Structure 1
Amino acid sequence: MKKIGFMGMGIMGLPMATNLMNKSGCDVIGFDVVEAARERFEAQGGKATGNADEIYADCEVIFLCLPKNELVDSTVREIIKKAKPGTIIVDFSSTAPGVIRTLFPLAKEAGMELLDSPVSGGETGAIAGTLVVMSGGEKETFDKVEDLLHCVGATVTYMGGTGCGSVAKLANNMIVGCNLVSVGEAYAFAAKAGLDPEVLYHAIKDGFAQSAVMDIKVPKILSRDFTASARIAVHQKDMKNAMQLANEMGVEIPMSAIVLDHMNQMEEMGLINEDQCALIKVFEKQMDIQVK
């Protein structure tokens, strides 16, 4: 039975750690810098620690679900420095491919394995254990932990070499970002033109405009519920990562640039930590209308 460590138990990480604990049959130790997060995991029946060194010393597989590239980078370097050879590091975070590709040979040199395995499906999917998992790294490493990945994901796919999972996540979030912005624009436009947005939702939700974004986010908009199940700030990071990779490849991604611009406007408005569906507020401000 593997000993598992889970680092980062926020909106996504807590239910993922809980599903690993409940489904894997393994001992799972959770770590978060926020004491309340550790308490929530313990309330689910888990073991939590405020000292990450306990995870580095004892765990064979260490999962990360962290909000920033810099935090992933520093944490993986700390694991490389302190953990045992043979440790497998699985990064569930949405990390820039360049960061992962820099860390991979360092882990390899230390006798460890690193798998980038970002996820999609939001808080709903994390709770239900139905996330989409996209993995990059060595196939042998993926094979060793695939059963654990299925504890959090309904769909688990090996995408290719190191960084390929992270690139798949960027492509996913480019599409999701475009959907979020188009939904915000369309509903603000329709409300400004005099339509009842709830009637519109029921009229079109089963047609060609249907998407997971519409299914999950429009009801939140209509109820004016902008509490975060997925923060704009995290998605903004992904769009910045996508723009950086596009620049490195010498290509343009104009629709993603528009999405990032709207997210940057939300940051200027002080609303960057609201749910992704709050992007509609950019259009509401421009059109002087409120969708509800």
Structure 2
Amino acid sequence: MEMIGFVGMGVMGLPMAKNMIQKCGLPVMGYDVAPRQMDAFRAAGGIAAASPEELYSRCDVILQILPTHAIIRGSVEQAIRHGRPGNVIVDLSSTAPHIVQELYQQARDAGMSLLDAPVSGGNPMAIAGTLAIMVGGDKEAFDKVKPVLACMGKPVYTGGTASGSVTKLVNNLIGGAILTAYAEGYAFAAKAGIDLQTTFEATRTGFLAGPCYENKIPKIIRRDYEPGARVAVHRKDILNAKAYAHKLGVDLPMTDVVLRVMDWMNDNGHIDEDQAALVKYYEEKMDVQVGLSAEEADSRA
């Protein structure tokens, strides 16, 4: 490997790229459509590409974390078009398994490798470099880039192509149910009139304990919906899972509930907020406000 390329530096991508710069020991070239993100990447020591084509043509390992299937597909196809045989493309996005399989074959036909390597852990773990990284594709390509991926978290080889994407669907089916339950539970607590912070302190060391609970419940209590992970991205995974479940011929009844809540978020203009904002669905249904914003807390002090 001579140079790492990183495409897509949003809420997750920028801290991941920064960890790559600090830890991988190779030059890291990056590209994002947002000038502000490019400035931050450059300030961290990265090499700013003038265009995506420059990055694809100069880097032999290309990492990407992008928001929609159209953008994901376009990026991989450009990487194939402008790259060289032997290159490894690593898609860190949450991508539908059938799209991964199509793009994998295109990369293979061009003498390149495509790994599907979705991540989990949100912005806090992206910053800390402790993301779960679920990697499907050719084992030889995984072995080649494993030290690179380890700069961002813990890469685990899940098997053949698209297996990483399916593993991420499992992760986000469960995660969606948990996050929706958090919202329902704390709306129920607010409606019952008990103190939310006390509820958190009383439950955080029990069976519910874990990094997700520690991250999301304080955000619910503070009405902090600044996205560490957007509902829009999670909903995309839920839709992907529903489509794959249809292919498998199975029902996902709990996921149907999660999708109903996320659809409400989409219809009511909250889709780009943090998953903690799922509580807004229950606020409407239960006719209650959950928590206090910093401004509200200050005004009552």
Cα deviation 1:1-36 (Å, max 9, x = unaligned): 521110000011011111111101011001001111
Distance across 2 between alignment mates of 1:83 and 1:46:
20
Per the alignment, residue 194 of structure 2 pairs with 195
Quote the offset at 1:69 in angstroms: 1.4
Q: How does 1:23-42 map to 2 (within 5 A)?
A: 23-42=23-42
Residues 238 and 259 in structure 2, CA contact (< 8 A), matched pair in contact too: yes
Quote the offset at 1:87 in angstroms: 1.0
Q: If the length of structure 2 is used for normalisation, what is the TM-score?
A: 0.95
Distance across 2 between alignment mates of 1:180 and 1:142:
31
Cα deviation 1:206-264 (Å, max 9, x = unaligned): 11122332210010111111000111000010000000100111111111111111111
Distance across 2 between alignment mates of 1:141 and 1:213:
31
Per the alignment, residue 133 of structure 2 pairs with 133
Distance across 1 between alignment mates of 2:129 and 2:30:
17
Distance across 2 between alignment mates of 1:2 and 1:121:
29
Per the alignment, residue 298 of structure 2 pairs with none
Q: How does 1:168-187 map to 2 (within 5 A)?
A: 168-187=167-186
For the residue of structure 2 that corresponds to 1:158, the secondary structure is strand
Per the alignment, residue 59 of structure 2 pairs with 59
For the residue of structure 1 that corresponds to 2:223, the secondary structure is coil
Amino acid in structure 2 at the alignment position of 1:193:
A
Aligned Cα RMSD in Å?
Answer: 0.9
Distance across 1 between alignment mates of 2:215 and 2:7:
27
Residues 183 and 282 in structure 2, CA contact (< 8 A), matched pair in contact too: yes
In the alignment, does 2:243 pair up with 1:244? yes
Distance across 1 between alignment mates of 2:86 and 2:103:
16
Residues 32 and 50 in structure 1, CA contact (< 8 A), matched pair in contact too: no
Cα deviation 1:123-168 (Å, max 9, x = unaligned): 0000010001100001011000000010001x22100000000011
Moved over 4 A (4+): none
Quote the offset at 1:67 in angstroms: 0.6
Q: Which deviates more from structure 2 when the two are superposed, residues 177-186 or residues 76-85?
A: 76-85
Per the alignment, residue 43 of structure 1 pairs with 43
Distance across 2 between alignment mates of 1:2 and 1:176:
37
Distance across 2 between alignment mates of 1:40 and 1:196:
40
Distance across 1 between alignment mates of 2:248 and 2:2:
40
Distance across 2 between alignment mates of 1:159 and 1:33:
31
Cα deviation 1:145-198 (Å, max 9, x = unaligned): 000010001x22100000000011110011111011001001101110111111
Distance across 2 between alignment mates of 1:45 and 1:82:
25
Amino acid in structure 2 at the alignment position of 1:159:
T
Quote the offset at 1:40 in angstroms: 1.0
For the residue of structure 2 that corresponds to 1:264, the secondary structure is helix
In the alignment, does 2:155 pair up with 1:156? yes
Amino acid in structure 2 at the alignment position of 1:39:
D
Residues 205 and 215 in structure 1, CA contact (< 8 A), matched pair in contact too: yes
Residues 21 and 44 in structure 2, CA contact (< 8 A), matched pair in contact too: no
Per the alignment, residue 122 of structure 1 pairs with 122
In the alignment, does 2:82 pair up with 1:82? yes
Distance across 2 between alignment mates of 1:178 and 1:2:
42
Distance across 2 between alignment mates of 1:63 and 1:285:
41
In the alignment, does 2:18 pair up with 1:18? yes
Distance across 2 between alignment mates of 1:7 and 1:213:
27
Q: If the length of structure 1 is used for normalisation, what is the TM-score?
A: 0.98
Q: Which deviates more from structure 2 when the two are superposed, residues 200-209 or residues 231-240?
A: 200-209
Unaligned runs of 5+ in 1: none
Per the alignment, residue 164 of structure 2 pairs with 165
Amino acid in structure 2 at the alignment position of 1:93:
S
Distance across 2 between alignment mates of 1:72 and 1:169:
16
Distance across 2 between alignment mates of 1:50 and 1:260:
39
Structure 2 vs 1, CA of residues 146 and 226 (structure 1 numbering), >3 Å: closer, same or farther? same
For the residue of structure 2 that corresponds to 1:63, the secondary structure is strand
Distance across 1 between alignment mates of 2:88 and 2:256:
35
Quote the offset at 1:38 in angstroms: 0.5
Equivalent pairs, count: 291
Per the alignment, residue 288 of structure 1 pairs with 287
For the residue of structure 1 that corresponds to 2:164, the secondary structure is helix
Q: How does 1:184-223 map to 2 (within 5 A)?
A: 184-223=183-222
Distance across 2 between alignment mates of 1:4 and 1:267:
36
